[in-house]
Structure 1
Amino acid sequence: MELPANVERIVKIPPSMMLQPWMGSDFTNDDLVKESSILEDYTHKVIGTVPLDGETVVQIEAVPKPDSAVVWGRIVYWVRRADTMPLKQEFFSERGERVRVLTFSDVRKVGGRTLPTRWDMRPDAKPGNSTTVVLKDAVFDRPVDDEIFSQRNLQKR
């Protein structure tokens, strides 16, 4: 069986596609690529401290800087005060409407680091819908040869 010629072509993802779902999930291409930098492209401020599941949680609002090419109008981070563990992120459109919520849970040691190993993305427009990523294992700080991500290597069968 012959495959259509367009199967092996290189497809570059334009900025307009960054909000498209990744492989039919509730995560977007931007979630994986992280084209923007939360530290460089956003201004941050603490907007509150609230109790959550018996823990003190700090809410941090990230608002895009004027000339930043970013996807979200703002992002609100919920971070555990005791150890700065991320617990939740709320993503808002440029019109200020909440679009989706990412929650983090099952905090444990993976690859020598303590981090949330379950990530649940829930879009507000699709009640009852969610996509879950479960991190089973990880390796950190291992050098990766530049050749791994060359076009030639990525096109190998």
Structure 2
Amino acid sequence: MRIIKIKTNQIIVCLVFSVITVQAFSQSPTQLLDAVDKNLSADSRIVESTMVVHGKRNNRTMTSKSYTEGTAKSFSEYLSPARDKGTKMLKLEKELWLYSPSTDRTILISGHMLRQSVMGSDLSYEDVMDDRKLTETYNAELSGEEEVDGRPCWVLSLKAKVDDVAYDAQKIWIDRERLVPLRQELYAKSGQMLKRILLSDVRQIDGRWFPMQMNYKDVLKEGDGTDYIITKIEFNKPIPAYIFSKAGLKQ
């Protein structure tokens, strides 16, 4: 009787695991990606942040405030340190404008310049330009399950379905419970990994899960990457139209 009981228990465990697995797989890769988009995207965002660039000899710390409306408009202003204070970036549709107070000039960032580093960080202008939803730019396939920092994740392989994305492919680890990415790897068409993003300090804000800290690492460069730390974030707040004006860059 004991042998039968053990086997029965084993069958029950297998059945429970199978049910959990079936329930998890009931969401398609596209549905998982859509859930991520719903957590990360908003009609508008107002963000105060600190960026720490880890260099070979020392670190640089910058603070900024940014405003985003949909996927077509964004504005950022650096508040510190003194040498970077007043530097501004404005995105209008597919144009990115940069104002430097030291030269009192506004320049259009385009072409190969978009691949350049933002303020010496591991982020490029391309990275800050593209705020579209993942479901709009990538097709997804489920490639497995792994843990990130002890949290079970779905692993999705993404392939670009539009031509105007900075990365032809991505691999993304999605927290199974909170449906936010905890790790991303970004790839070129050649298959070479270009960047890695680690996302952490996930908090529930206004009914959504959102990572408050990200480490961006350009794997082609030395160093420990760039930490982007959100100190305050507001979703779906009205933003005055003048914020997204080219005339306001010099003000």
TM-score (norm 2): 0.54
Q: Secondary structure of 1:11's partner?
A: strand
How far does residue 7 in structure 1 lie from its aligned partner after superposition?
Answer: 2.6
Rounded to whole Å, the distance in 2 between the matches of 1:17 and 1:62 is 26
The corresponding residue for 2:122 is 26
Tell me, in whole angstroms, the C-alpha distance in 2 between the residues paired with 1:135 and 1:88.
Answer: 17
Asked which structure has the greater CA Rg, the reply is 2
Count of aligned residue pairs for this structure pair? 150
Deviations, residues 57-111 of structure 1 (Å, cap 9, x unaligned): 111122112x521111211111111120210110111110111210011122456
- The answer to whether the Cα contact below 8 Å between 1:123 and 1:129 also exists between their aligned partners in 2 is no
Give the drift of 1:16. Answer: 2.3
Aligned position for 2:160: 64
Partners of 1:155 and 1:128 in 2: CA distance: 34
Q: What percentage of aligned pairs have identical amino acids?
A: 26
Gaps in structure 1 of 5+ consecutive residues: 1-5
Once the two structures are TM-superposed, the CA of residue 44 in structure 1 deviates from its matched residue by: 1.6
> Whose helix fraction is larger, Structure 1's or Structure 2's?
2
CA shift for structure 1 position 38: 2.7
Partners of 2:139 and 2:207 in 1: how far apart? 31
Q: How does 1:2-151 map to 2 (within 5 A)?
A: 7-34=103-130, 37-65=133-161, 67-110=162-205, 113-151=208-246
Normalised by the length of structure 1, the TM-score is 0.83
RMSD over aligned Cα atoms: 2.2
Q: 1:17 to 1:153 in 2, by over 3 A?
A: same
Give structure 2 stretches of 5+ with no counterpart.
Answer: 1-101
More strand by share: 2
2:120 partner amino acid: G
Q: Take 2:109 and 2:132, find their aligned partners in 1: how far apart are those partners?
A: 14
**Separation in 1 of the partners of 2:220 and 2:228?**
20
| Cα deviation, residue 112, structure 1 | 6.3
